[in-house]
Structure 1
Amino acid sequence: MKLTKNIKSSAIKVLQTEADAIQNLINYINDDFEACVEAILASKGRVVITGVGKSAIIATKIVATLNSTGTPALFMHGADAIHGDLGMIQSDDFVICISKSGNTPEIKVLVPLLKRLGSKLIALVSNTQSYLAQNADFVLNATISEEACPNNLAPTTSTTAHMAMGDALAVCLLEARGFGSEDFAKYHPGGALGKQLYLTVEDVVPKDMIPVVYDKSQLTEIIVEISSKRLGATAVVNEAGELLGIITDGDLRRMLQRQTDLKNVRAVDIMTKDPKTISTEEFAIRALNKMKEYNITQLVALKDGKIAGFVHIHDLMKEGIV
């Protein structure tokens, strides 16, 4: 029996329901939300996030987001908390408790214990009249009208709303701390993302291959230089070492199509003037963006105004940036 008839309409309904719920969260960004952000910023402690069931999973995601954006955070499972994990909480910490209903048995046991420790309690709830909300120092309101589940039971819309509110909190803290790309790189040194944030042009330029010819160099010298350095191009400089242009394999081919008398050809005759350059201090991702902007595959790298080599798109690909 084919059951695919309503699959598309069901999927669209789920996404629309959750999108509407997130849109509605805008109405709950109030003074309490602002006060919560300011209190965390002023605190010397960490943010400990707890929950049970699906809320615990959402808590781990928000913890990861906070840690990667400059706000130290820890995860504490709501069930494990009453079996020893409360020991991780310090008096200066803020505890965010995530719960749709705010009235689960685990929450009712946990809240008094948290209050006794002296930590500030933040309720991330979908029921502002709940036990958790009524006993919290701050309430992050993530009220929803319905779950995306057709039985209105499975946590779907509610977990999406909680995650979105956690993102809003994390980004507000990030911006308030002035957390920039260099700070971000410290916490993301691995993978392509990390390399985009810390790898510079100097890190990727081949150090032992700097093809250079003079403006008066003959065709034979040019071909030998390009071939020996295996970069498919050479820089052209004057006697003072100043960059005048660049000659690529393509320039040579186009020149051969135009000319038959090759005896008097000099570098200055076939070079492309004012080639695109980049400082070795620039991030490598900037080199990639510049290549895309001008639809080219290499740039002349300059260090203190002097030629330091070529950065080729293959160098960036090798590092996993492309």
Structure 2
Amino acid sequence: MNALTAISPPASDLATAWFCDVVAAERNALSGFLRQPLAAVADTVALIARQARPIVLLGVGKSGHVAAKLAATFSSLGTAALFVNAAEAAHGDLGAVESGSVVVILSNSGATDEIVRIMPLLKARGCSLVGIIGRIDSPLARAVDYLIPAEVEREADHIGMAPTASTTLHLAIGDALAVAVSRTRGFTREDFLRHHPAGLLGRQMIPVASFMRQGDDLPKVTPSTSFVDLLAVMSSKRMGAACVVDADDQLVGLIVDGDVRRHIQAHPDVHIATAGEIMQPSPQVIGTEANVGDVLLMRSAGSGSWLVLPVVDGSGRLRGMLHANDLLQG
């Protein structure tokens, strides 16, 4: 039996304690950062927000991985950004850095050889240098134009050497910069969705008119519709609901399966009932100009857990109906 197989796995409570130690150490790194003066933050946000050319995120190793992620975050929030690996910069990748660009440098030690080596070249190009640096007395910290100190008391791993708390802090600082710049620029939710045309995010920009049931597929009755005819409409249209409209197609109510069951329980002689007696008056609706993202936001904001949703125009006339399953398909 070798040494590895001879080691017994730690008890579950001990493993959980180790796990929590790491989370606590990274939380403490974030809390410690917020307790220090943040003198350079406002100037850094203003600097990035007024840039027309892409900003550059520069790093190597674990800091390089963080820089790459932050470049993607800046871009998705409306600030064009690109990542340059400092180890490759001296071998041609520095050509991606335009004169006068804002360069955000990530380094925990502040003495990363690959970055120190190209600093004179960045300065010669008139770049504005922002540093997210772990050591304020380091060469890189002294060389940048805007310094955001990112020192941590200790790394979160058990030997205190693996980039853990430091990379978490760098990531949080970068995310905070990206969001603050985005808000400064007036970047909106609609802008964000236009930056994400694929997948679920992209689907959110699709108008509700593309999904709603309309025409002959729309379950629609009047307040005087009899109980029997109401059931026939609800069954034939297969939406588990019916919209109640007046003679001008103004929406006056909504009936779902639950309304029918509750009315039956309360009024055994249901054959004399009409749609107007069963309906929910003034139901929740959405406008024809809305998109799928508006619908999902309405649900997440606690505006009802609906299965069907009438779609009305600016005058309150019924134009269609959405079924939650339609939004989840495709």
TM-score (norm 2): 0.87
1:224 aligns to what?
232
Offset at residue 80 of structure 1 (A): 0.8
Counterpart among 132, 136, 139 of residue 131 in structure 1: 139
Percent identical pairs in the alignment equals: 34
Instruction: Look up the match of 1:118.
Output: 126
Residue in 1 aligned with 2:183? 175
Is 1:4 matched up with 2:10?
A: yes
Matched to 1:302, the amino acid is V
- C-alpha separation in 2, matches of 1:299 and 1:31: 50
Return the match for 2:102 from 94, 98, 106.
94
Following superposition, the deviation at residue 84 of structure 1 comes to: 0.6
Could you tell which deviates more after superposition, 201-210 or 19-28?
Answer: 201-210
Query: CA contact under 8 A between 1:44 and 1:93: conserved in structure 2?
Result: no
Counterpart of 1:204 (choices 211, 214, 237) is 211
Aligned to 2:241: 233
Q: How many angstroms does 1:78 deviate by? A: 0.6
- 1:19-59 deviation per Cα after TM superposition (whole angstroms, max 9, x unaligned): 11111111445222222222222333321111111111011
- The 5 A counterparts of 1:307-322 are 307-318=318-329
| Contact 1:280 1:301 survives alignment (8 Å) | yes
Question: Any idea what SS the aligned residue of 1:235 has?
Answer: strand
SS across alignment from 2:242? strand
Amino acid at match of 1:81: A
Structure-2 separation of matches of 1:270 and 1:27 = 59
| Code of the aligned partner of 2:91 | H
Which one-letter code corresponds to 2:101 in the other structure?
A: D
Structure 1 SS opposite 2:40: helix
2: CA distance, partners of 1:296 / 1:214:
22
Is the 8 Å Cα contact of residues 254 and 280 (structure 2) preserved in structure 1?
yes
Q: Which amino acid aligns with 1:162?
A: H
Could you say what secondary structure the match of 2:158 adopts? coil
2:282 corresponds in structure 1 to 274
Two-structure CA RMSD over aligned residues (Å): 2.4
Q: Structure 2 vs 1, CA of residues 298 and 109 (structure 1 numbering), >3 Å: closer, same or farther?
A: same
Is the 8 Å Cα contact of residues 243 and 255 (structure 2) preserved in structure 1? Answer: yes
In structure 2, do the counterparts of structure 1 residues 93 and 317 end up closer, same or farther at CA, with 3 Å as the change threshold? same
Deviations 1:72-123 (A, max 9, x none): 1111111110001111111121111211112122122111121122211222
Which secondary structure state, in structure 1, belongs to the residue aligned with residue 181 of structure 2? Answer: helix
User: Displaced runs of 4+ in structure 1, greater than 6 A?
Assistant: none
Aligned residue identity for 2:66 = I
- The answer as to whether partners of 1:235 and 1:247 remain within 8 angstroms in 2 is yes
Q: Which amino acid aligns with 1:153?
A: M
Give the 5 Å matches for 1:1-322. 1-5=7-11, 6-196=14-204, 198-208=205-215, 209-256=217-264, 258-260=267-269, 262=271, 264-287=272-295, 289-290=298-299, 293-304=303-314, 305-318=316-329
List alignment gaps of at least 5 residues for structure 1.
none
Distance 1:174 1:248 in 2: 42
CA distance in 1, matches of 2:251, 2:95: 64
Cα pair distance change 1:132/1:269, threshold 3 Å: closer
Instruction: Report how far residue 241 of structure 1 moved.
Output: 2.6
Could you tell me which runs of 5 or more consecutive residues in structure 2 were left unpaired when the two chains were aligned.
1-6
CA–CA distance in 1 between the matches of 2:149 and 2:174? Answer: 11
Q: Distance in 2 between matches of 1:34 and 1:119?
A: 19
Shift of 1:255: 4.7
What secondary structure does 2:41 align onto?
helix
SS of aligned partner of 1:31: coil
Q: Distance in 2 between matches of 1:270 and 1:165?
A: 56
- Matched to 2:169, the amino acid is A
User: Whole-Å Cα distance in 1 between the matches of residues 46 and 306 of structure 2?
Assistant: 47
What displacement does 1:238 show?
Answer: 2.6
